[in-house]
Structures are given as C-alpha cells and as structure tokens.
Copies of this chain bind each other. A is one copy, B any other.
Amino acid sequence: MSGSVTVVGLGPGSEAMVTPEATAALARATDIVGYIPYVARVPDRPGLVKHATDNRVEAERAAHALQMAAEGRHVAVVSSGDPGVFAMASAVFEALEAGPADWLTLEISVLPGITAMLAAAARAGAPLGHDFCTINLSDNLKPWDLIERRLTLAAKADFAMAFYNPRSKSRPEGFGKALEILKASCGDDRPVIFARAVSTPEEHIRTVPLTQAEPEMADMRTVVIVGSSLTRIVERPGLAPIVYTPRSVPA
C-alpha cells in the first residue's frame, strides 16, 4: 500500500498555461487537496475525491494529504502558480518534518508551474529581464520589520522587484508603507506594474510611475512589479506600452 503526494502547480489561471505533466498528474490522482477555487479547476471524474478547504489552513491541509498518502492514496495537492513560490510546497514539507517518521519514505514530488510574476512580466514586456527579487508583502507569517529591511536592501542592490500578496482586507496598511519606503529609497521615478488576475477573464495590467503608485491600485489578486533604475518604457501608438529591463548594465 504505497501512496504518493504530488504538489502540482496550476499556473496563474489559464488552462493554456498548465504544463502537460501537471495535467497528467491530476488525471492519475485519487484525491485532490487544496484551496477551494484551485480544487474547482480540476475536472470531476468518477472515483476522484476532492478535498477543498478554505484559505489559511495550509498546515492542516498538508498533513491531511500526507496522511492519505500513508494510507495508500495518490494525492495531488494543488496550488495556483508555482507550488514552490509562496504556495503549498513549503507547507507540505513543514508537515512532513513535523509528522510521524514513516511519512519520510512516502513518494513526494513537486511539479513546477508558471508563477504569477512570470505571467505578469510576460504581459507587461520583460521587467524581470535582469537581476530581481521576489518578496511576499504579507506579514501574517513574518515580522513587518523584516519586510521593510528587505525592501530597503533590495532598493540599494537596484534589483527589479516582484511582490506577492501586496494587500488584503485584513492588512490594508502594509502596502502603503512599502510604497513609501520605495519612494524614499529608489530616488527616481521607475515604472510600477500592477498586474491583476493575469491570464483570467478579469486580467488587468496597469503601469504607473513610482511617484503615482497608490496602495488602492493593488488587491489580493494583484502581483506588483517594480522596475530597477534601468527599466525602460517603450511607448507604442495605439498599443499598451512595453516595460522591460535591458540585459546590460553599463560599467
């Protein structure tokens, strides 16, 4: 009775961005575990059991998946985007490490997906075409001080930056503070891309200069990308501008 856990990245929303190996893993699974809207993306079929849970129960969900695998089930844990970027893969390994020793010999694999920042960058042009950093702006699981410190150092390093979870109803103020830090640290008017619900029917991309960026431009479905000091905007007649970071940094 040898079960398995496969942590599957569903990409940002469009089925056209789901990898064939992810689709194949979902077709093989006996059980689907995940947050309600992601589980809903997996087509029903006879024999498939869906275990959809609400947000903020990642640890319990991960332990449940491992427990079912220990009982011989083939469990797919679904994440949007890439499961390894602020998603379910770390939660599964935290539960594995905290759990019974016999879980350690379970077959566990992670299938990567198109994470939101890559889809957002592709829509805008190529703002992450040079060195960049990726920061989760939620302070649910880390001290706010650390976020401020990372933003300041990232600006000093002149990284382009991608922000996940910039703003939610329960954390309305953090993103405003983050923007203030960036306005003070960057010292120029670099482009800020607000990419909402990329690759879904609600997709909306908007680029503004840093001085005009406002907290209300982001919500929990938005990924925010801030250019480096070298990021450029190419204006096009009648078309959306292209935002890209060149490959070269002059000496």
Contacts and interface: CB of A to CB of B under 8 A. Distances in A.
Interface of A: 9, 11, 14-21, 24, 58, 82-87, 89-94, 96-97, 104-105, 108-115, 118-119, 121-123, 125-136, 141-143, 146, 149-150, 153-154, 156-159, 232, 234, 236-239, 242, 244-249, 251
A112 B17 contact: yes
A86 B85 CA distance: 19
Chain A residues touching B, majority SS: mixed
A238 B150 CA distance: 38
A70 B1 CA distance: 60
The residue in A16, A158, A237 that gathers the most chain B C-beta atoms within 10 A of its C-beta is A16
Copies in the assembly, this chain: 2
Contact of A142 (B15, B115, B154, B249): B249
Contacts of A11: 19
6 contacts: A84-B128, A110-B122, A131-B135, A133-B134, A133-B159, A141-B247
